[in-house]
Amino acid sequence: MPFLLAASPSVLSDDHFSPCDGEHQAADVSLQRIESEWPMRGSGDAVSQYVQKLGTRLAHFSVYERNIPWRFSVIRNLAPNAFSIGGGYVFITDGAVKFAQNESELAAILAHELGHELAGHFCGASELSDSVGLFDIFSAPETQPHQVGIGSMTQVIDPVKEQQADQIALSILQASGYDPRAMLNVARRLPKGDTAHPVDSQRLQTLENLLARTPPMKAQDSEDFRTIKRTLAKE
């Protein structure tokens, strides 16, 4: 029987099985702001369609039941970035797709964002707050929760929640047949902050510990992934 990287219940918030009051309303407000501030790829765009298909497939393999209408959107921006805003909205930039060296790594980036949504990290979000609880995989972690501006919005980075999202991502990757080590490979290559943060090495160590008993897998790729990479390279 394969070793399963199921995230323990302790990494999930107490109310993750319950609908979160205000989460969808707050997410809709954030969505409008993002769409007014960033150039988005349309839903008919080939990159958008590929990311939506991959993200939906990953969500299907999650063991956590939240009734979420998943929507994955691609931002035309070359800076590697991926974030979620609650309500099932996940965003990824062209730069993050380019950053992924294979489909497993792109799956890891999306699965991490799914992790934030599935863990209920947006429960309690308020549409009246400037701080929209927006999580970003490419931000350098700090020892304490801190805020970073994205457009007009404020991003909340909480190292504990980042590790929770990582752990859920591992279980999704394994269940969907992608190499969970892709999460570690992505984390190792994330941009470092101005100073060396102990949390960087702590995050990597946690991932390494979780993956220690996982048999090696071949990094997965697909013709669709290679086609999308070629499309982005030509633009």
Rule CB under 5 A: which residues touch Zn ion?
135, 137, 162, 165
Q: Facing residues of 154 across strands?
A: 131, 149
Residues 6+ apart with CB under 8 A from 195: none
Q: How far is CA 151 from CA 25, 81, 124, in A?
A: 20, 13, 22
Least Cβ distance, residue 123 to Zn ion (angstroms): 16
Least Cβ distance, residue 1 to Zn ion (angstroms): 30
Least Cβ distance, residue 158 to Zn ion (angstroms): 9
Calpha distance 68→62 (Å, rounded): 12
Q: How far is CA 42 from CA 163, 213, 225, in A?
A: 32, 41, 18
Residue (59 or 165) nearer to Zn ion, CB: 165
Instruction: State the residue number with the nearest CB to Zn ion.
Output: 135
Least Cβ distance, residue 122 to Zn ion (angstroms): 12
Residue (120 or 229) nearer to Zn ion, CB: 120
Residue (97 or 169) nearer to Zn ion, CB: 169
Calpha distance 30→117 (Å, rounded): 15
Residue (122 or 178) nearer to Zn ion, CB: 122
